């Protein structure tokens, strides 16, 4: 397999069919297996039948369905915000949020490893943009002291999958003036961190009106869409000021209903999050046995620390063993195998993965 895009013909939580062959897959961000949960599918089918395929209009005209509002209520509750607003995807959640504060934010202090979506969003507004390196809190502190401004923003991912790092939210909040905002892209924290996977802020026991959470619904919730959750005033502001929100068609009502069902499963089955964590630990242990463990916290998606040639050999052995793992580089960098476990993988699946990787390393 060459680095890059693969054509998937069908999938389950743990398999992908490519060129007519079904592979055991360690791929993607459907971390809790909810994209294939029967309750989710039932909700999608029922809403598809009553609402059609598309909202066919923006929310503020005739595209606002009950399912969208239900999903916003559910997301606000799970993420611990007073309110939440849906946008078409997680990237746009960051864009819409910053857009709503354009002209007001004079300084954004950003973790250097933040997702490109957060960088992109912060760059689109006038104002100073400074990074504090990879979680360098001393540097963040120095920048916050030097450029303190009532509308200052500190922005970070909640969980950095590539670095295996979690944001130090409590410490970042302490640097922020009372009227500032702490923007947390928690796309990878939702479904993983905090009791029942309620995210990074919950995991730190933080409820603060200065925290605004953005997230993709295409990761642990197995759906599609983006959300901004925070204080009622912030959410209302985004609703009134963001053209990205106002000028786009929302996710289909059926998908919104599916995401509501996914959140119900998340709340009802905290054991699912524990299974994800256990599988992430097993993956990290097996990679350590093979000397392939990157430094950092345990995360369910791991970018193998190997050069492209070894990556290619490993991918070929995985393929021969009937295992699909994506192989790609970011930002023009070398391609690497990206292995992801989810809550539905069984011990035997991980054993098969370990054997194929070991054969690749010994080849
Ligand atoms: C941290 C983070 N933020 C935002 C996004 C974008 O989300 P979406 O794919 O829903 O646009 C991603 C997706 O890779 C992500 O990992």
pLDDT-based confidence at residue 297 (cuts at 50, 70, 90): confident
Asked whether residue 255 falls in the same domain as residue 229, the answer is yes
Q: Is 157 helix (H, G, I), strand (E, B) or coil?
A: strand
In a domain, 298, yes or no: yes
Choose which residue among 155, 213, 218 to substitute to test ligand 1 binding: the one with the highest number of ligand atoms within 8 A of its C-beta: 218
User: Contact, 83 vs 227, CB < 8 A?
Assistant: no
Choose which residue among 35, 87, 88, 91 to substitute to test ligand 1 binding: the one with the highest number of ligand atoms within 8 A of its C-beta: 91
With 70 as the cut, is the pLDDT of residue 62 above it? yes
Asked whether residue 263 falls in the same domain as residue 279, the answer is no
In a domain, 18, yes or no: yes
User: Contact, 312 vs 275, CB < 8 A?
Assistant: no
In the reported structure, the alpha carbon of residue 92 is separated from the centroid of ligand 1 by a whole-number distance in angstroms of 9
pLDDT at 4: 67
pLDDT-based confidence at residue 184 (cuts at 50, 70, 90): very high
pLDDT (mean) for 118-139: 94
Asked whether residue 152 falls in the same domain as residue 250, the answer is yes
Asked whether residue 145 falls in the same domain as residue 15, the answer is no
pLDDT tens-digit map of 93-120: 999 999 999 988 989 999 999 999 999 9
Asked whether residue 258 falls in the same domain as residue 287, the answer is no
pLDDT at 57: 98
CATH classification of the domain holding 295: 3.90.1150.10
pLDDT at 126: 85
| Number of domains into which the chain is organized | 2
Asked whether residue 243 falls in the same domain as residue 277, the answer is no
Asked whether residue 129 falls in the same domain as residue 224, the answer is yes
Asked whether residue 134 falls in the same domain as residue 263, the answer is yes
Asked whether residue 66 falls in the same domain as residue 100, the answer is yes
With 90 as the cut, is the pLDDT of residue 322 above it? yes
The pTM (predicted TM-score) of the whole model is: 0.96
- Alpha-carbon distance of 221 to 121, in angstroms, equals 23
pLDDT at 1: 64
pLDDT-based confidence at residue 293 (cuts at 50, 70, 90): confident
Asked whether residue 153 falls in the same domain as residue 97, the answer is yes
Last residue of a domain, one of 242, 268, 294: 268
Asked whether residue 314 falls in the same domain as residue 356, the answer is yes
DSSP string, 278-326: HHHHHHHHHHHHTT-PPSSS--SEEE----HHHHHHHHHHHHHTTEE--
- Alpha-carbon distance of 299 to 341, in angstroms, equals 9
In the reported structure, the alpha carbon of residue 214 is separated from the centroid of ligand 1 by a whole-number distance in angstroms of 10
In a domain, 243, yes or no: yes
Average pLDDT, the chain: 95
pLDDT-based confidence at residue 270 (cuts at 50, 70, 90): very high
- Which domain, by its residues, includes 14? 10-31+270-362
Last residue of a domain, one of 240, 268, 296: 268
Asked whether residue 179 falls in the same domain as residue 236, the answer is yes
Tell me how far apart the terminal alpha carbons of the chain are, to the nearest angstrom.
17
φ and ψ of 10, to 5 deg: -160, 160
Report the phi/psi class of residue 194: left, alpha or beta, with left for phi > 0 and alpha for psi in -120 to 50.
left
- The C-alpha R_g of the chain, in whole angstroms, comes to 21
CATH classification of the domain holding 102: 3.40.640.10
In a domain, 4, yes or no: no
- Ligand 1, CB within 6 Å, residue ranges: 89-91, 115, 117, 157, 185, 187-188, 216, 218, 226
């Amino acid at each position: 397999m060459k680095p890059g895009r693969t054509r998937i013909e069908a999938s389950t939580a743990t398999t992908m069919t490519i060129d007519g062959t079904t592979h055991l897959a360690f791929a993607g961000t459907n971390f809790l297996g909810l994209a294939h949960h029967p309750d989710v599918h039932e909700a999608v089918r029922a809403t598809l039948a009553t609402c059609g395929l598309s909202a066919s209009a923006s929310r503020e005209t005739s595209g606002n369905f009950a399912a969208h509002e239900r999903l916003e209520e559910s997301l606000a509750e799970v993420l611990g915000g007073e309110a939440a607003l849906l946008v078409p995807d997680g990237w746009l959640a960051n864009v819409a949020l910053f857009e709503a504060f354009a002209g007001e934010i004079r300084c954004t202090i950003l973790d250097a490893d933040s997702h490109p979506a957060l960088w992109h969003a912060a760059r689109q507004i006038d104002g100073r943009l400074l990074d504090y390196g990879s979680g360098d809190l001393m540097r963040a502190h120095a920048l916050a002291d030097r450029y303190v401004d009532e509308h200052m923003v500190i922005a970070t991912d909640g969980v950095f999958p590539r670095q295996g790092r979690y944001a130090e939210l409590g410490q970042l909040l302490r640097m922020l003036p009372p009227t500032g905002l702490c923007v947390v892209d928690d796309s990878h924290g939702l479904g993983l961190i905090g009791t029942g996977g309620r995210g990074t802020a919950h995991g730190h026991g933080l409820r603060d009106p200065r925290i605004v959470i953005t997230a993709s619904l295409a990761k642990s919730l197995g759906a599609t869409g983006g959300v901004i959750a925070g204080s009622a005033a912030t959410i209302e502001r985004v609703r009134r000021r963001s053209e990205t929100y106002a000028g786009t068609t929302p996710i289909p009502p059926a998908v919104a209903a599916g995401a509501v069902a996914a959140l119900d499963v998340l709340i009802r089955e905290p054991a699912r999050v524990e299974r994800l964590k256990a599988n992430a630990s097993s993956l990290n242990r097996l990679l350590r046995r093979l000397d392939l463990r990157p430094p950092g916290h345990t995360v369910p998606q791991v970018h193998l620390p190997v050069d492209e040639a070894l990556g290619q050999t490993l991918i070929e052995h995985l393929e021969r063993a009937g295992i699909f793992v994506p192989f790609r580089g970011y930002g023009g960098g070398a391609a690497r195998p990206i292995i992801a476990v989810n809550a539905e993988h069984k011990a035997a699946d991980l054993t098969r993965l370990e054997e194929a990787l070991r054969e690749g390393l010994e080849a």
